Chains A and B, each alone.
Chain A
């Protein structure tokens, strides 16, 4: 009989409270490894590339991009949606899994939230630079100006400004609040005065007082409850950028849920990509275990299949609508000039994750790494397909065209990875990459009733598995 009660321990290797402090904190305290400098230089080179591409763009205008008529939205919007989507996994892990009491999240939430914040920073680059006249970007904000005009609140593009900036702010606050007790841990271990002072300021004088934990836990719960509808709203609003228009291929009601599923899908793939490497290099395999990775792979399988189902539903609805333009947009997607992009997307997003039905494969580190890369690629192509194939052949065949990105487009996108990894490497170097206090809190020893009955641990979990296993 299958035993559904016997949960595998969340932390492996019999680690005690102090071991967890030691494993996580030591990476921020030791001498910077040479390999970190190597990786950081590479990331910094990418960041420089981004900065120079943006400078080139500002100097010359958006003509240096591959945009044409009718494809007025190209790489900028594709990359924007791609990066915002990546961020969603972090909030899902930190907020939604918290509300569902999924305790395994504690191992990965810190790094996933960091990823969220850095991905949203990368995303915000694109709407800012794509406006052409970048000095007028403040028009999107309700700032009093000499024209006496206000933003146009009926536009989804403006909702986006509010949604994404709120998302960034709330994610940052949530992340920082989670960090406070862990920064206090680092403060209490600090050897130098400078370190003690900087960490002392950041940890706000945290002493782990229960009168503080009481408000802290309530605030954390409320932030999770606020971040949950927020994360669902952000990608819904992003999808409104498309769905509220009347362009065939964009104007569909399925977009909000389909975008949210896609966002979680791509985000989890990125978390797997990053953590497979980080847990190895930082030696935290006992905290971020194969079980954690397997759970993420199951979510990838689930959301990937949902996304695939949405692709097929779109086709059905296009056919069922009886609208000629709508039908053509989808046939063109599958067999038109961009069929190569469409089938790349289908293969990466719908086909590859299906391997995760097999337990052996979804627990195989190398295999899941490869799949996660494919998913990242596939989800980028999804946004490309939605944006470009819908636009490049619009109502009048005389205005049809083929969109090709320029080298500036491509290098700007490559550069955002530089920005992302610069920030991520700084995070790994200076902050605890695992939520130390939270991981300690899920150890069986953290339960005060663990010590009842002379510490045999039986007070803690009312172990039904023992009786179940006998049958």
Chain B
């Protein structure tokens, strides 16, 4: 069960396990964002779960087409923010009222008012760092190795090409049937991706 959970978490990061014969999945190119959106919707309706679209920019409406809910990054941000606020409050109170109290112009050793700027700054600082770290963690990045990088065609994904990838780890995956379905959806350049590990290409 734990293994299944790990697989699901990884799948949510677009990381999949290779099937038999090192087959990682099928990668298909679509002509434009409109086609990709419709294809993603059709693939979801066909019952696939381990699939992802790849595009040079985020496509409006794709989350809905793929049936993805709201991202949970916000909760991580909130956690970071609360930590920062607590840290700043405790730090200022402990340092100036407990550990080494110094009388400054007869002001209280600790008061909320002069502590607010630093409380605010540390809240923002830790919330931002948590957001960035949380986003990368949820995406499973950094990920230096990705079997998709074996596809020469896939180099254009950061330029002007739109891809849909269905992973072999999906229960419904079958190399022929999945390839045929993607062709029927109007894909060009449908290719099977092999997970060959990090062996050297050349």
Task: Mark A residues whose CB is within 8 Å of B.
Answer: 16-18, 21, 142, 148-154, 156, 158-159, 162-163, 166, 169-170, 173-174, 176-177, 181, 184-185, 187-189, 200-201, 204-219, 222-223, 226-227, 229-230, 233, 237, 240, 436-438, 440-441, 445-452
Is the beta-carbon distance between B58 and A204 smaller than 8 angstroms? no
Is the beta-carbon distance between A214 and B54 smaller than 8 angstroms? no
Q: Is B190 an interface residue (CB 8 A)?
A: no
Further pairs besides A222-B74, A446-B57, A446-B60: 17, Cβ < 8 Å: A21-B56, A142-B95, A150-B99, A163-B121, A166-B121, A177-B132, A181-B158, A185-B159, A187-B158, A200-B144, A205-B141, A207-B54, A208-B54, A214-B58, A217-B71, A441-B58, A449-B34
Give Cα distance in the complex from A177 to B144, angstroms.
17
Q: Is B86 an interface residue (CB 8 A)?
A: no
Give Cα distance in the complex from A222 to B127, angstroms.
9
| Given contact pairs A150-B100, A226-B128, A438-B57, A211 touches B13 in the complex (Cβ within 8 A) | yes
Which residues of chain B come closer than 8 Å to A450, judged between CB atoms?
32-34
Q: Mark B1-25, 1 if CB is under 8 A from A, else 0.
A: 0000000000011100000000000
Is the beta-carbon distance between B54 and A204 smaller than 8 angstroms? no
Q: Is B135 an interface residue (CB 8 A)?
A: yes
| Given contact pairs A204-B142, A207-B14, A440-B57, A153 touches B115 in the complex (Cβ within 8 A) | yes
Give Cα distance in the complex from A227 to B128, angstroms.
8
Give Cα distance in the complex from A189 to B63, angstroms.
28
- B interface residues, tally (CB under 8 Å): 72
For the complex of A and B, list the 3 residue pairs with the smallest distance between their C-beta atoms, beginning with the closest.
A451-B34, A219-B135, A17-B160
Q: Is B189 an interface residue (CB 8 A)?
A: no
Is the beta-carbon distance between B124 and A166 smaller than 8 angstroms? yes
Is the beta-carbon distance between B159 and A152 smaller than 8 angstroms? no
Which residues of chain B come closer than 8 Å to A166, judged between CB atoms?
121-122, 124-125
Q: Mark B64-103, 1 if CB is under 8 A from A, else 0.
A: 0010101101100100000000000001100110011010
B116 nearest CB neighbor, chain A only: A159
> In the complex, what's the smallest C-beta–C-beta distance from A81 to chain B, in angstroms?
17
> In the complex, what's the smallest C-beta–C-beta distance from B12 to chain A, in angstroms?
6
A147 nearest CB neighbor, chain B only: B100
Q: Is B36 an interface residue (CB 8 A)?
A: yes
Q: Is B59 an interface residue (CB 8 A)?
A: yes
Is the beta-carbon distance between B157 and A222 smaller than 8 angstroms? no
Which residues of chain A come closer than 8 Å to B146, judged between CB atoms?
205, 207
> In the complex, what's the smallest C-beta–C-beta distance from A415 to chain B, in angstroms?
29
Is the beta-carbon distance between A208 and B55 smaller than 8 angstroms? yes
Which chain B residues in 104-142 approach chain A with CB under 8 Å? 104, 107, 114-115, 117-118, 120-122, 124-125, 127-129, 131-132, 134-136, 138-139, 141-142
Q: Is B156 an interface residue (CB 8 A)?
A: yes
- Most chain B beta-carbon neighbours within 10 Å: one of A17, A208, A216: A208
Q: Is B148 an interface residue (CB 8 A)?
A: yes
Which residues of chain A come closer than 8 Å to B120, judged between CB atoms?
229, 233
Give Cα distance in the complex from A18 to B156, angstroms.
9
Give Cα distance in the complex from A173 to B129, angstroms.
8
> In the complex, what's the smallest C-beta–C-beta distance from A31 to chain B, in angstroms?
22
| Given contact pairs A211-B12, A448-B60, A16 touches B160 in the complex (Cβ within 8 A) | yes
Which residues of chain A come closer than 8 Å to B158, judged between CB atoms?
21, 181, 184-185, 187-188, 206, 208, 437
Give Cα distance in the complex from A158 to B91, angstroms.
14
B63 nearest CB neighbor, chain A only: A214
In-complex Cβ contact of A205 among B12, B34, B125, B145 (8 A): B145
In-complex Cβ contact of B55 among A158, A210, A218 (8 A): A210
| Given contact pairs A181-B158, A210-B62, A226-B128, A215 touches B122 in the complex (Cβ within 8 A) | no
| Given contact pairs A201-B144, A223-B132, A150 touches B96 in the complex (Cβ within 8 A) | yes
> In the complex, what's the smallest C-beta–C-beta distance from B65 to chain A, in angstroms?
9
Is the beta-carbon distance between A169 and B134 smaller than 8 angstroms? no
| Complex A-B: 30 CB contacts under 8 Å | A16-B160, A18-B160, A149-B100, A150-B96, A153-B115, A154-B104, A158-B118, A163-B117, A166-B124, A169-B125, A173-B132, A185-B158, A185-B159, A188-B156, A208-B55, A209-B53, A210-B40, A210-B58, A211-B52, A212-B139, A217-B58, A222-B77, A223-B128, A226-B131, A229-B124, A436-B56, A440-B57, A441-B57, A448-B33, A448-B34
| Given contact pairs A177-B132, A209-B52, A441-B58, A215 touches B71 in the complex (Cβ within 8 A) | yes
